[in-house]
């Protein structure tokens, strides 16, 4: 799940209202809305022949194909088809008895890498066909884009009227750019359309039921698939949960408190524990204060530096710093890299203040090429779990899904009020809550059915207590509203994305559920395994299969990068 602020329809009128928790704001819902539902599939889609070909290195054992799907499932005979990229990995021996789909979240994350990732989980790989796919709008599937839309280069904490004007104007311009660049596809980038794509894949693969592992925004997708296609639901694992029982804004409004908690309670406490090595502050409070001092210094005097023999220029300002910090809170494996970067920026800022721009550049020039490459990579990386490819399709799909699916309160007043309410106590990202196109978005006339869990097999929900991107409080609330669900809590842990190496206890429970259907009799917890002591971080390579290391979502992104380009 990404931070809501992004660089980046159809006739709403005031009718029923949505109350935004704690904000006092209301969101208009369109009159005469279309209550979306699953539709029978036209024969031309069911009868298409799939041509599978190897994608990625041979050792991945992955095969990929593209399938045709209607741009609009409500109008299957319009002749405006899209393509969906699908991947699969079969068991090494024998015929699979079950199929497991996966999604890495976002929403909008390219998901071809989910097939080899799920197949790398040995208990799961024995009898399951592992399947990944790039959701419509993203990856190797038919894309949407918002290229050219203005970004948010202003300081979110600046409450000057002119600055707020600029934020509002940038937000308003997002949809016109996205609409123009996406060739009419944008209104059809919704979860309602995506889960019908997903069921088409199921039918073409010949399985009656699917198992599912969805991370982050993938929990939203999973819950809606269950709602649309309950008769085809097998064993569903929803890991790092959105509140899929309520509108998108409910999940995003809780992010500032969750990110602040992760920063202060987990990272800053850890950094203070190792102050003799990291030198960021002797207490958690001091670490946070030093971050605030550095932020103020970089806002007053940004550092513009050339890396790798002047081939790349990076501007370090308060926004760069905020992005670095929030991006490294998703996994504890990034904590040491973040500590090194904070120390580097502190030294860079102090050097520039004392000796000027040339002195700062000499500091950069004195770094090894390896360290320079790592700083460049980290300055340009995407949020963990999303690939670092050059196109903006993941961001564009994220924007379309979150703005199209459910109603948001409309207009600058609501946006600015939300930021003003959340910013003072949660300054890391709270002030940026008004940097969002959804407050100005002209939605399709769509009303998604609310997921309730009624009549479904048991759903296993997995959540770490200090997850920054999907708040534990909301996950627990969704669990209580979702009939028949079980909640597996990882205590003393804050990683976003748990299944697949974060916690051995959790992996045992999840694998038992996926392979045997054995469900915990009641909610259960596993103790977190702790944050590792500072050690040299491994460089992350997004060029091939060797990239599939690290946190679960980063491994998925590595696999996806290793498969990209084979279907073009």
Q: For residue range 130-158, what is the model confidence (pLDDT) as tens digits?
A: 999 999 999 999 999 999 999 999 999 99
Mean pLDDT of 453-464: 98
pLDDT, position 546? 41
* Structural domain boundaries in the chain: 255-380
For residue 388, pLDDT beyond 70? no
What pLDDT, on a 0 to 100 scale, did the predictor assign at position 543? 44
- Residue 39 is predicted with a pLDDT of 85
Closest CA to 560 of 128, 100, 132, 106: 132
Phi, psi values for residue 303, rounded to 5°: -105, 120
The pLDDT value recorded for residue 539 is 47
Predicted confidence at residue 14, as pLDDT, reads 23
Give residue 37's pLDDT.
78
**Integer Cα distance of 528 and 493 in angstroms:** 5
Inter-CA distances, 225 with 153, 266, 488, Å: 37, 34, 21
Of 247, 115, 254, residue with least CA distance to 191: 247
User: Averaged over 358-363, what is the pLDDT?
Assistant: 96
| Percent over 70 (pLDDT), the chain | 90
> What is the rounded distance in angstroms from the CA atom of residue 567 to the CA atom of residue 2?
27
Tokens at 411, concatenated = 């207009």
- At residue 441, what are phi and psi to the nearest 5 degrees? -90, 135
Which residues lie below 8 Å from residue 358, measured CB to CB, with a gap of 6+? none
Q: Is the pLDDT of residue 198 over 50?
A: yes
Q: Is the dihedral of CA 425, 426, 428, 429 positive or negative?
A: negative
247 CB-side CA count, 13 A:
21
pLDDT computed for residue 567 by the predictor: 82
Q: Residue 389 has what pLDDT? A: 39
Specify whether the CB–CB gap between 248 and 473 falls below 8 A.
no
- Classified as helix, coil or strand, 100 is strand
**Per-residue confidence band for 34, with pLDDT thresholds at 50, 70 and 90:** low
pLDDT at residue 418, rounded to an integer: 98
Q: What is the pLDDT of residues 36-80, one digit of tens each?
A: 778 899 999 999 999 999 999 999 999 999 999 999 999 999 989
Position 131 scores a pLDDT of 98
Write down the pLDDT at residue 537. Answer: 57
**pLDDT given at position 35:** 53
Res 15: pLDDT = 25
Query: Which residues is 439 bridged to in the sheet?
Result: none
pLDDT digits (tens, 9 = 90+) for 268-278: 999 999 999 99
What pTM was estimated for this model as a whole?
0.92
Out of 21-25, 321-325, 436-440, pick the least confident: 21-25
Name 237's bridge partners: 213, 460
pLDDT band of residue 233 (cuts 50, 70, 90) is very high
Burial 419-451, CB ≥16 within 10 A → b, else e = bebbbeebbbbbbbbbbbbbbbbbbbbbbbeeb
The predicted model gives 380-399 an average pLDDT of 69
Q: What's the Cα-to-Cα distance from 504 to each of 101, 312, 499, 511, 521, rounded to whole Å?
A: 22, 41, 9, 10, 19
CA distance linking residue 564 with residue 545, whole number of Å: 11
Tell me what the pLDDT averaged over the chain comes to.
90
Residues 452 and 450: their CA atoms lie apart, in Å, by: 6
Give the pLDDT of residue 568: 78
**For the chain, percent of residues with pLDDT exceeding 90:** 86
CA 332 → CA 1, 430, 467, 487, distances in Å?
16, 22, 11, 22
pLDDT in tens, 419-445: 999 999 999 999 999 999 999 999 999
């Amino acid at each position: 799940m990404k931070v809501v602020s992004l660089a980046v329809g159809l006739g709403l009128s005031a009718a029923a209202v949505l109350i935004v928790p704690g904000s006092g704001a209301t969101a208009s819902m369109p009159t005469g809305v279309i209550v979306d539902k699953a539709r029978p599939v036209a024969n031309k889609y069911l009868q298409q022949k799939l041509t599978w070909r190897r994608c990625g290195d041979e050792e991945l054992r992955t095969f990929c194909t593209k399938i045709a799907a209607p741009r609009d499932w409500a109008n299957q005979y319009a002749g405006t088809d899209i393509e969906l990229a699908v991947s699969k990995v079969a068991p090494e021996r024998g015929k699979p008895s079950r199929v497991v789909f996966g999604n890495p979240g976002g929403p909008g994350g390219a998901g071809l890498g989910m097939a080899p990732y799920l197949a790398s989980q040995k208990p799961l790989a024995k009898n399951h066909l592992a399947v990944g796919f790039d959701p419509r709008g993203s990856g190797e599937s038919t894309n949407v884009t918002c290229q050219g839309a203005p970004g948010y280069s202003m300081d979110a904490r600046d409450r000057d009227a002119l600055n707020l004007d600029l934020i509002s104007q940038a937000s308003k311009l997002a949809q016109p750019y996205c609409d123009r660049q996406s060739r009419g596809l944008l209104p059809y980038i919704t979860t309602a359309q995506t889960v019908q794509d997903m069921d088409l894949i199921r039918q073409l693969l010949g399985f009656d039921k699917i198992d599912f592992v969805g991370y982050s925004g993938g929990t939203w997708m999973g819950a809606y698939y269950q709602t649309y296609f309950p008769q085809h639901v097998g064993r569903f694992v929803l890991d790092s949960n959105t509140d899929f029982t309520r509108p998108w804004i409910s999940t995003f409004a809780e992010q500032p408190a969750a990110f602040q908690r992760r920063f202060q309670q987990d990272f800053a406490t850890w950094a203070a524990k190792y102050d003799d090595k990291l030198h960021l502050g002797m207490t958690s409070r001091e670490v946070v204060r030093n971050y605030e001092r550095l932020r103020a210094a970089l806002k007053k005097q940004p550092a513009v530096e050339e890396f790798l023999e002047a081939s790349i220029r990076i501007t370090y300002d308060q926004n760069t710093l905020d992005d670095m910090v929030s991006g490294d809170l998703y996994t504890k494996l990034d904590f040491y890299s973040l500590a090194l970067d904070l120390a580097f920026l502190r030294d860079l800022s102090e050097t520039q203040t004392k000796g000027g721009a040339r002195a700062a550049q000499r500091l950069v020039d004195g770094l090894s090429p390896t360290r320079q490459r790592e700083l460049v990579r980290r300055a340009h990386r995407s949020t963990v779990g999303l690939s670092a490819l050059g196109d903006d399709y993941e961001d564009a799909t994220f924007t379309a899904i979150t703005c199209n699916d459910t109603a948001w309160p409309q207009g600058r007043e609501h946006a600015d009020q939300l930021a003003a309410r959340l910013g003072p106590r949660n300054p890391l990202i709270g002030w940026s809550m008004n940097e969002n196109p959804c407050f100005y978005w002209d939605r399709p006339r769509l009303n998604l059915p609310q997921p309730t869990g009624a009549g479904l097999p048991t759903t296993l929900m997995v959540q770490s207590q200090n997850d920054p991107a999907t708040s534990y409080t909301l996950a627990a609330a969704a669990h209580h509203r979702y009939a028949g669900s079980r909640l597996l809590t990882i205590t003393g842990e804050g990683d976003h994305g748990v299944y697949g190496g974060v916690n051995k206890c959790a992996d045992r429970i999840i694998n038992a559920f996926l392979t045997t259907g054995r469900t915990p009799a009641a909610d259960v917890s596993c103790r977190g395994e702790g944050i590792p002591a500072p050690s040299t971080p491994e460089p992350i390579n997004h060029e091939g299969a060797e990239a599939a290391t690290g946190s679960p979502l980063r491994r998925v992104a590595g696999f996806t990068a290793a498969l990209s380009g084979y279907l073009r």
